[in-house]
Every structure is written in C-alpha cells, then in structure tokens.
Amino acid sequence: MKITEYVSSSFDVNFFGNVGNTILFKNPKHYDFIIVGAGAAGSVIANRLSAKHYKVLLLEAGGPETPYTQIPKLGHFLYNTGYNWGYLTTPQKHICRGMIDNKCDMAAGKALGGSTAINNMYCTRGNREDYNKWAAMGNHGWSYDDLLPYFKKLEDAFVKPFDPVYRHRGGPFHIEHPRYWTDITNGSLSAGKELGFDNIDFNAKEQFGMGRTQLSTKRGKRHSTAQAYLVPARKRPNLVIKPFSHVTKLLIDSESKEATGVEFFTNGKLYAAKAEKEVILCAGAINTAQILKLSGIGPREELDKLGIPVVAKLNVGRRFKNHVSFLGLGLIYKNTTLAKEDETAEIIEYLQKGKGPLSVPGTETIAYFKTGASGHKRRYPDIEFFFHNENPAITAKSFRFKPEILESFKSLGNKRILEIGVMLTHPQSTGTVLLKDKDPFHHPLVDPNSLSDPDDEDFRTLLAGIKKGLNFADTEAFKKMNLVVNKYKIAGCEDHEWGSDDYWKCAIKLLTVSVHHVTGTARMGPKCDKDAVVDNKLSVYGVEKLRVADASVIPITISGHTMIPSIMIGEKASDLILQKWKAKGTPQN
C-alpha cells in the first residue's frame, strides 16, 4: 500500500485529552476569554493567556492532527480531506482559467493548528518595509522594530547563517532547513549568484537575494502551532480545547454593544458559551469575515439585504488581498527521467532519521527581487521565486486543473522538471468576501478579483517576473545541470508563439493560481480609515470586548508567506490583551 493512501480525514479526538464538558445553550458556561479558531494565531493566544491562569475556551471547527498529517510530503493530499475548509472562489476572469469551472482553490486549514496543519510549511517574515508601512498608516506599535521582538520570541530557529540580532533559539515554533535536498539547492543558489542574487537568510537583515527554504518542521516532522503551543498547554485545567466546534455567530448585547460570548455547533447540537472579558476571533481571513457579518458586523447594504440586524457598520470583507503565483515556468533536465520512487526505502529513512523525500514539501530555495515593473519606488520586492522539485502532474492535480491542462503536463512524459514558481508579492487588485446567505454552514462568496487592477500593474509585474525567471536557463550553473526551458505549449495557448507576450498573457490566465495567503478582510487601521475594521490594539470598532487576531487584520500584503506573520500577530495580540487586563486586576486562579 502506498504511503499516500494512509492520509485520512478522520480525527483522533482524544489526541488532545482535555476537551471540556458539554456546554448547554440554556445554561452556558462562563470563561474569561473565548478564542475562535485554533490556527496560527489562536493557538498562540490560548497558550499565552492560559499560562497566566485565565479561564480560556478554545473552539475549533476541525479536529486534531494525526501522525500521517505530520509527514511534510503528504501536505498536497490533505487538501482533499476534512482538514481543508474546501473554499472555492467565484469564477475568475484573469487567473485560474485552467481550473475546473474557472474557480480557484482556496485551501484553508480546518484543524487544531489551522493552516499550519496542512500548508507547505514555508517560513518567511516578509520585508521590513511591509511593517513600516503598517505603522505609517497610523497603526502605532506595528513597525518592523516594534515587531522584531515577537518574530524572535516565537521561533526556535536552526538556520544558517544565524544572526542573533534577527534570529532566536528557544522559542516554541521550530524552524529548520529541509533535511533532504537535491541538486536544485546548490544549482539554483549558484545560478542565482550569476544573476546577482546573494545567498542570504531572507528572514534576517536583508531580504533581497536567495536562500535555502526554511520550514516549520522539527527533525523532519511538521511542526504546527498545535504542536508548538497547544501540546505544552493542553493539561492546564483552565484551558478547555473543543475541536469539532463550529462557531455560528457572536453573542453581542444590543444595548451595551459588548461581545458577551459565542454560539457554536458540536455533536449535532447548538450551544453557547459566555466570555467575561473578551471574545477573540482567530478563524482565518475568510471565516472571520463570515462570522463577523453573521453577527451583524459588516457593510450595511450587504447585511440589510440578508435581513441581518446591523450592530456595527464596518467594511468587513471589502479589502481582500491574495497572493497569486504562476506555475507554468519549468526547466527540463535533458536526457533525465524521473527516478522510480522506492516508497519502502523512503518510509524507512523517514521513520529512522526524519530525513529523505518524505521530510520536505518540494521547494528547496526561495528568492526575492524587484522587477521594476511595479510602482514601488523603494528597494521593495515585488516578486518571489520558489524553486520546486516536484512532479508537475502531481502539483497540477492538487490545484484542480481541467483535464486538458493535466494532459498538457502529461505530454512531458517522464521527464524530470525544475519548476520556478513566480509569486506576486504586492497585488494592486482587491477582492471581496461576501455572505452567500445567513446559513453559517454555507461557504461565503470569495472573489479575489486578481490581476484586475485598471493599470495592469499586477500583470506587468508578473510578466516581468516570468521573463526574469527565464534568465536562469542561460546561467552556467543550470547549463551544467543540463537544464533547458520547457517550451511545450499549454492547452488553450497553441495559437500563440511560445515566449511572446501574447503567449504569456494566455498562459498567465490559465496557470496563475492562488497560493492561499488571504489578508485584509478585517483590516487594521486608524478610525479615519474608512476600510478599517480593527484599531491598532486589534479591537473591533463599535463593539466592546471583541478583537480579531489573524491574517484578516493585515492592512498591506506581506513580501512573503503569511504563516509566520500570523503567528507573530498571535504573540503581539497576547501581550496587548494581557497588558489591558493586568491593568484591570490580577488573573483568576
């Protein structure tokens, strides 16, 4: 039996032990804090607040991980299980045209650990300028210098080079380089040097350049925030963790406009729980927006249309930002075919040493640079490259590509491919998350609206990135590896000359996909910002005792992936909460 056949959507409820007592709707149990969502930020906050003896209820719609979900190479297969919310976008015009129904897959973790339980585990902080822009918008306390202590606090980093000014060992979240790599690692680093990419730690002082991938693994095993933060805290009697608990709405007092608790569905019944101090939404950028709106917090016209009483008129879900990546740039190894996998040997090596192909998701190096096509005047990265060692047919299948697109990949036969992913770091296009109806079990309408900006800056930047990626084929390092550009035309673009701008425009629409870095749906900003939903303390405007702490508050996109910034937000939010309630009295025992 193949190892991939062991991936299961079933959950071991007893994995985390303390799941608390049943909370009857008619007689709700009271806690100091209720946290909705046990993902990148929620797990952090549950740990930090319960460590101070507060009574904390952590609600998560999904279940615990299993030993199989913690095998890094199996991450793609988890997208087709109950660990994924399974969000799909509305049909798109400019991206995902090669996917079934022209809908982008929007994977989001539904598990203890959230997306850290199913993602590709890439650890990137972003650029100093990202956070300085946040502060310049009026978000006091969110500059890079303000946040660097939190980036360091969260990590237990075993990376090279190691600069103690920027990196830290001893934190909860383990970060390491891949424990398995191919010729792609040294080859791409050498090729990058020829093209002016310095070999760097992109999470330290300098982000421009190329470095070995940094993963959230520990001795080769996925290290989610559930493993890092909840496992050490799960035996605390004041922390109740309830998996399989789907929050349907927030309870808000109509007179005082205070969040008093939540309603949630579990074991086939509806329950309620009350929060004496605060409710903290950490459900992820899509689900958090849905819960806020179902609770009466959102744009008036949208809520009125569905008959939802308005508690606070805020532009929830109207500043949706999402990273996209082009997956159609590949280099073929001449005269080299894919080696037949010896899965038995791979399993033995993984179980004995935590090494081998099963210990990595595929990408071996990452690079950041500025194309010049975007409007950024400063030295600010607009493209990320990731150099991927994976069978392109497997990658394509995990993204729900149409049969004819899959056939295009199959036309490569058994050739070995080096894929260069081209990710747009700062899209100008803005999308929306809207309610489909009032049913909390129906997915909202997610429209990224990607590559739709009127000035075509996003398209021009992505095209410039693709052309820069093609330069790698001309380096001596890649020539020595017998790499040549894959010039097989993708299905649907046969009428265009390969390599022409018209060909790339066609291919971009078909093969550009979401990489699931959703931000901005509950944007942080000062009160004068018409799109702001939370202030710099992460408190929701117009509603007392309610905060949002997840990627939805990110006001400007990250020059990188969103996992580490989301964990950082959890650490920062924990301090903000503890500072407030310490000033109001000592924690309850």
Close Cβ partners of 44 (under 8 Å, ≥ 6 residues apart)? 154, 225, 229, 567, 570, 571, 573, 574
**For 503-529, what is each residue's pLDDT tens digit?**
999 999 999 999 999 999 999 999 999
Q: What percent of the chain has pLDDT over 70?
A: 92
For residue 190, the one-letter residue type is: S
Q: What is the pTM of this model?
A: 0.94
Average pLDDT value for residue range 63-80: 89
Q: What is the pLDDT of residue 345?
A: 81
Q: How many residues are given for the chain?
A: 589
Domain residue spans in the chain?
3-583
| Mean per-residue pLDDT of the chain | 91
| % of the chain with per-residue pLDDT over 90 | 80
Query: Where is pLDDT greater, at 496 or 408?
Result: 496
Residue 246 is a catalytic residue: no
Inform me whether the pLDDT recorded for 582 exceeds 80: yes
Q: Taking the CB of residue 209, how many other CB atoms lie within 10 A of it?
A: 20
Position with higher pLDDT, 224 vs 29? 224
pLDDT tens digits for range 326-337: 999 999 998 776
Q: Which two tokens stand for residue 114?
A: 């959230």
Q: Own/partner pairs for 227-231, CB < 8 Å, 24+ apart?
A: 227/65, 227/70, 227/113, 228/43, 228/172, 228/173, 228/174, 229/43, 229/44, 229/46, 229/47, 229/172, 229/173, 230/16, 230/38, 230/43, 230/46, 230/47, 230/58, 230/112, 230/113, 231/16
* 9 — pLDDT class (breaks 50, 70, 90): very low
What CATH architecture does domain 3-583 belong to? 3-Layer(bba) Sandwich (3.50)
Q: Are 286 and 446 in contact (CB under 8 A)?
A: yes
pLDDT(356) > 90: no
Told to judge if 561 belongs to the known catalytic residues of this protein, a careful annotator would answer yes
pLDDT at 338: 64
Buried b (16+ CB within 10 A) or exposed e, 56-70: bbbbbbbbbbbeebb
Selecting among 76, 168, 174, 517, the annotated active-site residue is: 517
Check the annotation: does 247 bind a ligand: yes
pLDDT of residue 285 exceeding 50, the answer is yes
The Cα 264–Cα 239 span in angstroms is 18
**Residue 254 above 80 pLDDT?**
yes
- DSSP SS3 for 351: helix
Contact 248, 270 (CB under 8 A): yes
